[in-house]
Amino acid sequence: MARKPIKARKRFGQNFLQDDMVIADIISAIDPKEDQHIIEIGPGHGALTALLLRKAGQLDVIEIDRDLVPKLKSKFKQFQQLVVHEADALAFDFTSLAKNSEKLRVIGNLPYNITTPLLFHLLSQSQCIDDMCFMLQREVVERICAQPGSKTYGRLSIMIQYQCEASQLFIVPPEAFEPQPKVESAIVYLRPLQKQDADGITISDLNTVVTKAFSQRRKTISNTLKNMMSQTVLQSLNIDLQQRPETLSIEQYIAITRAWSATNK
CB atoms near residue 247 (< 10 Å): 14
Inter-axis angle of helices 155-163 and 138-145, nearest 10 = 70
Q: Which is nearer to ligand SAM, 108 or 245 (CB)?
A: 108
CA 133 to CA 26: how far, in whole Å? 9
> 104-109 and 37-41 as β-strands: parallel, antiparallel, unpaired?
parallel
- DSSP-based three-state secondary structure for 101: coil
Q: How many residues bind ligand SAM (CB under 6 A)?
A: 23
- Kindly provide the b/e burial profile for residues 158-195, where b requires at least 16 CB atoms within 10 angstroms of the residue's own CB: bbbbbbbebebbeebeeebbbeeeeeebbbbbbbbeee
Task: Quote the least distance from Cβ 28 to ligand SAM, whole Å.
Answer: 15
Q: Which is nearer to ligand SAM, 41 or 140 (CB)?
A: 41
Q: Which stretch binds ligand SAM (CB under 6 A): 8-16, 145-153, 159-167, 256-264?
A: 8-16
Tell me the residue nearest to ligand SAM as measured from the CB. 42
Q: Which is nearer to ligand SAM, 162 or 177 (CB)?
A: 177
Q: Which stretch binds ligand SAM (CB under 6 A): 59-67, 126-134, 199-207, 243-251?
A: 59-67
The identity of residue 133, as a single letter, is: C
Q: According to CB under 6 A, which residues from 202 to 261 bind ligand SAM?
A: none
Distances in whole angstroms, Cα of residue 205 to Cα of each of 108, 191, 245:
29, 22, 17
Query: What would the x/- binding string for ligand SAM be over residues 64 to 103, using CB under 6 A?
Result: xx--x-------------------xxx-------------
114 binds ligand SAM (CB under 6 A): yes
Q: Which is nearer to ligand SAM, 92 or 153 (CB)?
A: 92
Dmax (CA) of the chain: 70
Query: What would the x/- binding string for ligand SAM be over residues 29 to 48, using CB under 6 A?
Result: ------------xxxx--xx
Q: Which stretch binds ligand SAM (CB under 6 A): 70-78, 109-117, 242-250, 256-264?
A: 109-117
111 binds ligand SAM (CB under 6 A): yes
141 binds ligand SAM (CB under 6 A): no
CA 55 to CA 224: how far, in whole Å? 51
226: CB partners within 8 A, 6+ apart: none
Give the binding site for ligand SAM (CB under 6 A): 12-17, 41-44, 47-48, 62-65, 68, 88-90, 109, 111, 114
